[in-house]
Amino acid sequence: MSTLAMLFFPIGMALAASSDLLTMRISNKLVLFLVVSFFVVALAINLPLQQFGMHIACSLVVLAVGFTFFALRWIGGGDAKLAAATTLWLGFGLTLPYLVYAALLGGALTLAILGLRNLPLTPFLARHHWIERLHDPKQGVPYGIALALAGMLVYTNSTIFERLTT
């Protein structure tokens, strides 16, 4: 069980990143999978109740801030939900490093996409809808990629990961 449980988070992050890249959407079902799997794993590893509550509180704070940013049109709704689901797994102790990594990776991703948008799109690449969409300057940036990568960078330092590997 622990090996399988250890993979729930990375699989969710990989699916979120690829989904956002290919469709510019992060499914509510995927976010729900991350939330439910957190509860299953937290119960399976006997995460102390106080720590369990703190993980939930952290996630709710991030969700509130995320939806404020969404209302201001600074980020997408899927990004807000993914960040909250990710911090549910990480807790307060890793949320700041997670957000710093997400900002740095998101900035690099944005600069890379903006740079690529200045290059001509070859006919071979243009036949792929998702590449054509990424090249379109009227489209956004699939920030879920940065959020997922940042989550993976800090996941191995999380209490949940540590408990699953011992």
Q: Where are the domains of the chain?
A: 2-165
Model pLDDT for residues 64-90, shown as the tens digit of each residue: 999 999 999 999 999 999 999 999 999
pTM value? 0.93
pLDDT at 1: 55
Model pLDDT for residues 82-123, shown as the tens digit of each residue: 999 999 999 999 999 999 999 999 999 999 999 999 988 888
Please tell me the distance from the alpha carbon of residue 110 to that of residue 113, in angstroms, as a whole number. Answer: 5
DSSP H helices, the chain, are 2-23, 28-44, 49-71, 77-90, 92-117, 123-126, 129-135, 144-155, 159-165
pLDDT at 5: 79
3-class secondary structure, 159: helix
